[in-house]
Amino acid sequence: MSQILRVGIAGLGTVGVSVIRLLERQSAALASRSGRSIKVVAVSARERGRDRGIDVSGLSWFDDPVALARSPDIDLFVELMGGSEGAAREAVEAALLAGKSVVTANKALLAAHGMQLARMAEDKHVALGFEASVAGGIPVVKTLREGLAGNQIVRVYGILNGTCNYILTRMEREGLSFEDCLKEAQRLGYAEADPTFDIGGFDTAHKLAILTSLAFGTAVDKDAIHVEGIQSITLADLKSADELGYRIKLLGVAQRTAHGIEQRVHPTMVPKSSAVAEVMGVTNAVTIDADAVKELTLVGPGAGGDATASAVVADIADIAKGIRSAPFGLPVASLESAKRLPMQIHEGGYYIRLSVQDRPGAAAAIATRMAERQISLESIMQRKPPGETGAKGTVPVVLITYATSETAIREALEAVVKDGYIAERPQVIRIERE
């Protein structure tokens, strides 16, 4: 191993450029902390002549990131291209096969191929760092893998997508519609032209799959996660939540239950007194419930060049020090299968919004259907929130239940729909208690 850690970076977008700048700015401090100098010696990107605001003339240039990954002139390969297939996957696999450690910010790659890549890293006795793949600058990977090694994790949940949190925050604070907030998020660059990956909950699911593995010793499996997005959330839901003492957030939740590890992504009502309820805008937050520390919440920037670069450089510094942890906390052979638990067995409180026909017997019929499934109601609101208009001849009714099962809720609502007393599809939002 050379005295200087020679780094090759594939991908010179916002994050790649920020990594180079941060390594230069903190070079003396990093050398002191790591016991060796860290130097970027080679890069790869699509466009060689593009002005990125940094000088790369003194670095070796590779048009092919796979060739960079195999180069004998680097010790560490940093993948910042993105994508679960193609060049990103090929280059990371090439680096690991060549016996080089890898750092990546690519949650899609890890969600799809994390186990294979971790196994390759173990076989070659090199490191696979991915702190930047979840929650940007928040050091949640190291917290779960090393910082809480003496704890048994009961639940990990959080706001893992800044786009969704930005939209929900502006809807709540400014009374804007979902559509208007989404357009503004796209204009500001928080949301893509096709925002489905973010607002549909899939980005959060990829990140949750990684956190679940670290927290519970399971194999990464994004297909084991129940996923719902925020497209159905309305101003009526946000106003009702506010009146009831809640806020609505898109959460990724992994929880140990009697049936196994439950993994789910969906809009969630959280008490205003909870730490995640206070997290607004594009900020991310992760809460960890464990036996020794009880509750630990980490809050910080979930994206952006400097924040993500901070996490990338943290991994680079660990590798410079010679730290070689099992990527997911345990050897791949020791990780258990992440069996998908059907959402029907989930238990908890529920918010239900109904557009009820304004005629005699409707309320009594709904209460009867709930009672038949042994669903206890904590509160009932039967008035229109200010500024809301429902279907003609209907009354908005909001129910908050005590803990019950998803199956009971779905069966009760199916019966209510068949009774013909409601004019629109019921809105159901799960409640996450503190």
pLDDT one-digit tens code per residue, 212-269: 999 999 999 999 999 999 999 999 999 999 999 999 999 999 999 988 999 999 999 9
Tell me: do 199 and 222 sit in the same domain: yes
CB-CB neighbours of 284 under 10 Å: 26
pLDDT at 1: 44
Tell me: do 326 and 354 sit in the same domain: no
Helix (H) or strand (E) holding 287: strand 283-290
What's the DSSP call for residue 280?
-
Whether 272 sits among the annotated catalytic residues: the reply is: no
pLDDT at 386: 47
Tell me: do 126 and 175 sit in the same domain: no
Tell me: do 319 and 364 sit in the same domain: no
pLDDT band at 382 (very low <50, low <70, confident <90, very high): confident
Q: CA-to-CA distance for 106 and 112, rounded, in angstroms? A: 10
Q: Provide the domain limits for residue 12.
A: 5-137+310-334
Tell me: do 11 and 83 sit in the same domain: yes
Mean pLDDT in residue range 411-424: 92
pLDDT > 90? residue 115: yes
Tell me: do 382 and 318 sit in the same domain: no
Residue 339 lies in a domain: no
Share the mean pLDDT of the chain.
92
Q: What is the CATH number of the domain that holds 375?
A: 3.30.70.260
Residue 245 lies in a domain: yes
Among 134, 82, 136, 84, smallest CA distance to 109 is for 84
Tell me: do 369 and 249 sit in the same domain: no
Give backbone dihedrals phi and psi of 295, rounded to 5 degrees, phi first. Answer: -125, 130
Q: CA-to-CA distance for 371 and 365, rounded, in angstroms? A: 10
Q: Which of the following is catalytic: 207, 222, 239, 249?
A: 207
Torsion of CA 352, 358, 360, 361, to 10 degrees: -20
Give backbone dihedrals phi and psi of 257, rounded to 5 degrees, phi first. Answer: -130, 175
Tell me: do 235 and 202 sit in the same domain: yes
Mean pLDDT in residue range 139-160: 96
Cβ neighbours for 123, distance < 8 A, ≥ 6 positions apart: none
pLDDT at 343: 82
Tell me: do 170 and 133 sit in the same domain: no
Helix (H) or strand (E) holding 430: strand 427-431
Mean pLDDT in residue range 38-53: 91
Residue 214 lies in a domain: yes
pLDDT band at 304 (very low <50, low <70, confident <90, very high): confident
Number of domains in the chain: 3
19-37 pLDDT, tens digit each: 999 999 999 999 999 999 9
